[in-house]
Amino acid sequence: MRLNLTVNGRPREADDVWEGESLLYVLRERLGLPGSKNACEQGECGSCTVRLDGVPVCSCLVAAGQAEGREVVTVEGLADLARRRSGGGSPGEAELAPVQQAFIDAGAVQCGFCTPGLLVAADEMLERDPDPSDADIREALSGNLCRCTGYEKIMDAVRLAAARGSEGV
Ligand code: FES
Ligand code: FES
């Protein structure tokens, strides 16, 4: 089947898609967007998290056909999404979304395999709740597993992104 969807603000299409193929496969293998990672392919780890019509989902569990006509945001689209949210800037003005910069500055990235999914989930939470408690952060990221960091640096990064957001940085 032919799949039509919007990815990171752009209309995209993919041909010869099998109905049972996952959205993750389509993104990575057909649309050239390898940012979303495939770690478990069972909905357990969150490394494949993308937004589907605004809602974070494990893209390994979404059948490609379910994404027909819908809007997907991947980690590759976070900077642009942040620019649009802040109502300004031209593409290329800032290379990273604030949450991405915060992960770097807080040292929250080790092997990086979990990072794209965490970034998408954290960015969505900060959009809903710019001043989250630690419990809010833990709940929002509870579906995203990290084998390396022990999570404290990730907590630091999200707190940093929230603090910078409240300061308008
Ligand atoms: S690869 Fe999708 S949840 Fe792990
Ligand atoms: S940084 Fe390695 S799994 Fe999270």
DSSP-assigned states of every residue in 49-80: EEEETTEEEEGGGSBGGGGTT-EEE-GGGHHH
User: Rounded to whole angstroms, how far apart are CA atoms 36 and 47?
Assistant: 7
Rounded (10°) angle between helices 98-105 and 152-166: 130
Q: How far is the CA of 93 from the centre of ligand 1 (A)?
A: 32
Report pLDDT for 79: 96
pLDDT in single tens digits along all 169 residues of the chain: 999 999 999 999 999 999 789 999 999 999 999 999 999 999 999 999 999 999 999 999 999 999 999 999 999 999 999 999 988 766 555 589 999 999 999 999 999 999 999 999 999 999 999 999 999 999 999 999 999 999 999 999 999 999 999 876 5
Q: For ligand 1, say whether the CB of 43 is within 6 Å of any of its atoms.
A: yes
Domains of the chain and CATH, by start: 3-74 (3.10.20.30), 77-167 (1.10.150.120)
Ligand 1 centroid distance, CA of 121 (Å)? 13
Atom of ligand 1 nearest to the CA of 44: 3
**Closest Cα to atom 3, ligand 1: which residue?**
43
126 contact partners, CB below 8 Å, separation of at least 6: 99, 132, 158, 161, 162, 165
- How many CB atoms lie under 10 A from the CB of residue 110? 14
Could you give the C-alpha distances from 80 to 8, 17, 57, 67, in angstroms and in order?
Answer: 8, 27, 19, 21
Give the Å distance between the CA of 111 and the centre of ligand 2: 5
**Closest ligand (CA of 23):** 1
Whole-number Å distance between alpha carbons of 91 and 153: 29
pTM of the complete model? 0.95
Q: Kindly state if the Cβ of 48 falls inside 6 Å of ligand 1.
A: yes
Q: Using most ligand atoms within 8 A of CB, pick from 21, 28, 29, 40 the residue to mutate for ligand 1.
A: 40
